[in-house]
Structure 1
Amino acid sequence: MSFGTGTTGVYPIAATPFHPDGRLDLDGVDRLTDFYQDAGATGMTILGIMGEAQKLEPEESRAIARRVVARSRVPVVVGVSAPGFAAMRSLARDAMDAGAAGVMVAPAPHLRSDEQIAAYFAQAVEAIGPDVPWALQDYPLTLSVILSVPVIARIMAEHPSCVMLKAEDWPGLEKLTALRKLQADGTLRPFSILTANGGIFLDFEPERGSDGAMTGYAFPDMLVELIDLHARGERDAAHDLFDAHLPLIRYEQQPGVGLSVRKYVLMRRGVIGSDVQRKPGPALSATGRAEVDYLLERLARKDARAAL
């Protein structure tokens, strides 16, 4: 399945469902896989930060990757970021052998200088293999690593196997414009840019040159519609749809409890059986759940998908 420099559309970041006692829910993995595809996703990204990858046993990560790849009709990108390159290499090879379309790699949180960042990704590409297509995750708000436009350009120049930038800097609109300007004048090779940050800036990112979204908002079907509206040039309709969902998108952006909100909405939508996170992880309070319910009720007045 295709995953390359021309990738467009919506690649939802998948949650990882667990049973109430914390065990991995593989039947829930199947339902989520179907849900994202039925929502119109052009691909899927699994084992990211939202997927609680750091809380999984290595064999659990492999089991999820194999299960999703076997079931999916769209390209699957597997997050392989790890503290060490041996674990990164092992998961990447296993995922690609299972039929994954590519992998996603984030910078290690300890990196500071551009030289450290460049050296890290050179070693990462050596570990996973230069023939493996991969997405570069730029997420300084969580990872505390600043990928400047020049260092992104350097990584892209040095590693042709990097086919996508997952852009989730904040603010990031000017960064998108700067990267696309370099590509337009021929000083930077083509690559796909999908944006994240929970969709909080998806009202303007396509206008700045993004190719779509790679984020975990609990209404991926809305994300698909939004990207399609932008592609058709229906600016006002796209902004109207975004504005209707913005209160819930904003509520999901709360540090710490954001994943709890997403899992709760996915449970309310009937996609997963439990909204539990694997420990350590916060749960929504009764008041928090009531607030989300209220936001869904208000959203349902404008978007029937929220009438749960």
Structure 2
Amino acid sequence: MTVTAPANASLAAPSGVYVICPTPFQADGTLDLASIGTLVEFQVSAGVAGLAILGFLGEAHKLSSEERRTVVATFVRCAEGRLPVWVGVRALGLAGAIEQAREAQELGATAVFAAPLDGASDAMQFEYYATLAKSVAIPVIIHDFPDSFGTEIKAEVVARLGREGGVGMIKMEEPPVGQKITRIRELAGDSMRIFGGLGGVYLLEELQRGAVGTMTGFAFPEILAAIYERFAAGDEAGAAAVCDKYCPLIRYEFQPKIGLALRKYIYMRRGAIACNAIRSPGMRIDDITTRELEAVVQRVGLAIDAPPLRF
């Protein structure tokens, strides 16, 4: 079924930093809805372009269906239209993906970013995304992250989705990111808007290759926003200077397996959430790692308990 988008549902040329938010839990593992409110206010103050929820950082795979619905509804309500909310979709098949995407749309999300089908052919991936896009009135974004999903989405498939499939955006996280961004742009032209990811580690290079922003988690999101804003204003040297200054922190925070724990700890210390609890399975940080993290934050000239900075 094709759904006609209402006039206010379209996203006109989205760009900038869409920060992937963690899902806050209380110490006993239950949802902390009050912390969703403080986290949203934090992100508004940080100057990001939008919120992305229920990705890997959002522990979506650890939530029940009812919890998932509650999280989406709470983020949308707390955002109050000040920031668009994009919602992650991952299912075993098309029916489940459509169900999740339609629920997100119903609750007020302005886009969904959808994981690929497991082990599907190029033709099946195209049909999956094209059909999903026809099933909702909000944009569908390709989530290209083969290191976590185990599925590669070829640049040719991405470009075809942009030209013919009604899917005009991608969150592209397949290293080496530069080469794939260039290839997609060669094949898709203006039909595909590319967002980076991977913790912001390659944000500057992604922008230089033609990305329009990033969708990623980082507990100092105002730094990524400053890099993007300088680059978008034509100040590439200024963007590089911010990137170079804070690269040690960006690098340290984006560690496989413990990145979520690092980010939740920083967000807790910065007052964005009340507790850094993670649901199992998930790796926690130890005291030595905590001291390392705090030392890196200090080394780049920041305070770990600082509110959002203004650049």
The two structures have a TM-score, normalised by structure 2, of 0.89
Q: Partners of 1:24 and 1:304 in 2: how far apart?
A: 28
Write out per-residue CA displacement over residues 14-52 of structure 1, whole angstroms, 9 at most, x where no aligned residue: 111111111111011111111112211111111111101
- The number of equivalent residue pairs is 298
1:146 has 2:152 as partner: yes
Q: 2:180 aligns with which of 172, 175, 182?
A: 175
Write out per-residue CA displacement over residues 155-201 of structure 1, whole angstroms, 9 at most, x where no aligned residue: 223321x2311111111112212222334xxxx45232111010010
Aligned to 2:216: 215
1:13 has 2:13 as partner: no
Question: Compared with structure 1, are the counterparts of its residues 305 and 253 closer, same or farther at alpha carbon in structure 2 (3 Å cutoff)?
Answer: closer
Q: Percent identity?
A: 37
Q: Is the 8 A contact 1:4 1:163 kept in 2?
A: no
1:76 has 2:85 as partner: yes
Q: Displacement, 1:263?
A: 0.9
Q: Partners of 1:4 and 1:60 in 2: how far apart?
A: 27
Q: Partners of 1:219 and 1:177 in 2: how far apart?
A: 28
Q: Displacement, 1:99?
A: 1.8
Q: Displacement, 1:305?
A: 7.5
1:96 has 2:72 as partner: no
Q: 1:109 aligns with which of 118, 125, 130?
A: 118
Aligned to 1:243: 244
Q: Partners of 1:154 and 1:204 in 2: how far apart?
A: 24
Equivalent positions of 1:272-291 (< 5 A) are: 272-291=273-292
Q: Partners of 1:2 and 1:297 in 2: how far apart?
A: 42
Q: Letter of the 2:154 partner, please give it.
A: S
RMSD: 2.0
Q: Letter of the 1:163 partner, please give it.
A: G
SS of residue in 2 equivalent to 1:45: strand
Choose 87-96 or 274-283, whichever is displaced more: 87-96
SS of residue in 2 equivalent to 1:41: coil
Q: Is the 8 A contact 2:126 2:165 kept in 1?
A: no
Q: Partners of 2:9 and 2:181 in 1: how far apart?
A: 23
Q: Partners of 1:9 and 1:68 in 2: how far apart?
A: 19
Q: Partners of 2:200 and 2:207 in 1: how far apart?
A: 11
Write out per-residue CA displacement over residues 174-232 of structure 1, whole angstroms, 9 at most, x where no aligned residue: 2212222334xxxx452321110100101211111111111101111111111011112
Q: Letter of the 2:44 partner, please give it.
A: Q
Q: Displacement, 1:3?
A: 5.1
Q: Displacement, 1:235?
A: 2.0
Q: Is the 8 A contact 2:18 2:214 kept in 1?
A: yes
Runs of 4+ residues over 3 Å off in structure 1: 1-5, 84-87, 122-126, 303-308
Q: Partners of 1:132 and 1:287 in 2: how far apart?
A: 45
SS of residue in 1 equivalent to 2:44: helix
Aligned to 2:264: 263
Q: Partners of 2:181 and 2:95 in 1: how far apart?
A: 33
Q: Partners of 1:120 and 1:87 in 2: how far apart?
A: 11
Write out per-residue CA displacement over residues 62-120 of structure 1, whole angstroms, 9 at most, x where no aligned residue: 11111111221111111121224443333322221222112111113333x32332243
Q: Partners of 1:11 and 1:51 in 2: how far apart?
A: 14
1:35 has 2:36 as partner: no
The two structures have a TM-score, normalised by structure 1, of 0.90
SS of residue in 1 equivalent to 2:141: strand
Q: Partners of 2:97 and 2:238 in 1: how far apart?
A: 42
Q: Partners of 1:282 and 1:206 in 2: how far apart?
A: 32
Q: Which runs of 5+ in 2 are unaligned?
A: 1-7
Q: Letter of the 2:217 partner, please give it.
A: G
Q: Is the 8 A contact 1:47 1:78 kept in 2?
A: yes
Q: Is the 8 A contact 1:4 1:164 kept in 2?
A: no
Q: Partners of 1:304 and 1:26 in 2: how far apart?
A: 26
Q: Letter of the 2:209 partner, please give it.
A: R
